């Protein structure tokens, strides 16, 4: 409902309430003829009632305007996707041409070869798709993600891959690369 229609509706409601109030006052006057001071009290009561009605109408208009402008209403998605985002169209533009080296490789294109400890930090050794070796630390960036954890004891490196799927709740996916396969760990 537009603001103009809402104001017209509220004014019409106010006018109808004033007519009903005036009608009850006229009926009350006809039923018992009050003194002149009683008429003054009735007109004061009618004015107070009219002022109260106009204040109520202004309050309703103000609240509806605040809702329409977005001040009076908030929405917490709580992890759900935006229902107004298109499921079909791509939301982000491609990053463009891939840079050279490890920064231009996908997570699926690198193989974990080893994990070493340098000082207090763990460093992972990867073999890239260009058959070159790369030493990476936590926070180092690949084309579609970055390293968030290196665990030397379990032989795992965890990547956070950025995904571009509006149907998913989270804009990322965690991928684990293992130094040993699951069958080798059982032996």
CATH at residue 118 = 2.30.30.830
Q: How far is CA 8 from CA 1, 11, 16, 39, 84, in A?
A: 11, 5, 12, 31, 31
In this structure, of 76-80, 124-128, 183-187, the range with the lowest mean pLDDT score is 183-187
108/167 same-domain check: yes
Place of tokens 């070796």: 133
Tell me: pLDDT of 38 over 50. yes
Q: How many angstroms separate the CA atoms of 149 and 136, rounded?
A: 11
Number of domains in the chain: 2
**Which among 99, 160, 149, 161 has a CA at the least distance from the CA of 124?**
149
Whole-number pLDDT of residue 36: 47
65/130 same-domain check: no
Tell me: pLDDT of 29 over 90. no
User: Per the confidence metrics, is the pTM higher than 0.75?
Assistant: no
Tell me whether residue 59 is in a domain.
yes
Tell me whether residue 108 is in a domain.
yes
List residues bridging with 175 in a β-sheet.
159
- Residue that terminates a domain, selected from 48, 69, 90: 69
Of residues 45 and 115, the one with the higher pLDDT is: 115
Tell me whether residue 7 is in a domain.
yes
Q: How many angstroms separate the CA atoms of 94 and 157, rounded?
A: 26
Tell me whether residue 185 is in a domain.
no
175/122 same-domain check: yes
Tell me whether residue 79 is in a domain.
no
Please check whether residue 110 is in contact with residue 133, taking contact to mean a CB–CB distance below 8 angstroms.
no
Tell me whether residue 184 is in a domain.
no
Whole-number pLDDT of residue 92: 47
Tell me: pLDDT of 37 over 60. no
Residue ranges making up the domain that contains 172: 102-179
């Amino acid at each position: 409902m537009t603001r103009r229609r809402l104001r017209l509706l509220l004014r019409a409601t106010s006018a109808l309430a004033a007519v009903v109030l005036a009608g009850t006052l006229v009926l009350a006057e006809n039923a018992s003829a009050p003194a002149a001071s009683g008429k003054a009290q009735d007109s004061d009561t009618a004015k107070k009632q009219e002022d109260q009605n106009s204040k109520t109408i202004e309050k309703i208009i103000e609240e509806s305007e605040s809702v329409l402008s977005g001040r009076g209403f908030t929405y917490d998605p709580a992890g759900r996707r935006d229902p107004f985002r298109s499921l079909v169209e791509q939301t982000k533009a491609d990053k463009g041409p891939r840079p050279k080296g490890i920064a231009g490789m996908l997570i699926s294109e690198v193989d974990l070869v080893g994990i070493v400890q340098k000082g207090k930090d763990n460093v992972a050794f990867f073999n890239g798709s260009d058959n070159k070796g790369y030493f990476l630390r936590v926070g180092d960036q690949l084309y579609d993600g970055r390293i968030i954890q290196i665990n030397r004891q379990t032989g795992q490196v965890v990547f956070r891959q950025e995904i571009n799927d509006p149907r998913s709740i989270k804009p990322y996916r965690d991928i684990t690369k293992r130094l040993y396969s699951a069958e080798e760990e059982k032996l």
